[in-house]
Amino acid sequence: MATKRKRRCWLMKTEPDVFSFADLVARGERGESWDGVRNYQARNTMRDDMKLGDRVLLYHSRATPPHVAGVAEVIAEAHPDPSCWDPASDHFDPKSTREAPRWFMVDIKALAALPHPVSLEALKANPKLAKMVVVQRGQRLSVQPVTAEEYAEVLAMGELQDP
């Protein structure tokens, strides 16, 4: 019998003016392909580590205040991000070929909004979250790991039962 992999948790940033948690909710069961990531570390996380059923905290950056808005689930594992091949796209990368795609994405769907969105300030004020990546100074990774404990704590702060 294959060993069952434990569900892992992640945090993904999005600018709500561009694509918000409400937009993800509106996508329903189809979810959304998380295209446009052009950072190698974030890409590696999506390509190598994010698996079906993993949970994602969706974080609204450049919002007032910045906050965790809701929880999503990985519904498709890594596949090439076609926006890198589109010359009209802001994310076009001439160095990425169809034979050797450089950029990958996962698909996620919304599970539940936090009844009480959790601000960055609140995250920083919680000693249990002192090591959480998103609260580290100068930290700007758009796809980052979250421990099971941190995930549970953020949901508790947001007054959401684990969906």
| Three-state SS at 82 | helix
By C-beta, is 14 or 31 nearer to DNA?
14
CB atoms within 10 A of CB 11: 22
Q: Which is nearer to DNA, 62 or 131 (CB)?
A: 62
**Choice between 61 and 126, CB closer to DNA:** 61
Residues that bind DNA (CB under 7 A): 13, 15, 38-41, 61-66, 120-121, 137-142
Q: Are 41 and 10 in contact (CB under 8 A)?
A: no
Q: Smallest distance from the beta carbon of 119 to DNA, in angstroms?
A: 8
Smallest distance, DNA to C-beta of residue 94, A? 10
Q: How far apart are CA 103 and CA 46, in angstroms?
A: 10
**Least Cβ distance, residue 34 to DNA (angstroms):** 13
**Residue 101 · residue 91 · CB < 8 Å:** no
Minimum CB separation from DNA for residue 19, in Å? 12
Between 7 and 93, CB nearer to DNA: 93
Q: How many CB atoms lie within 10 A of CB 104?
A: 22
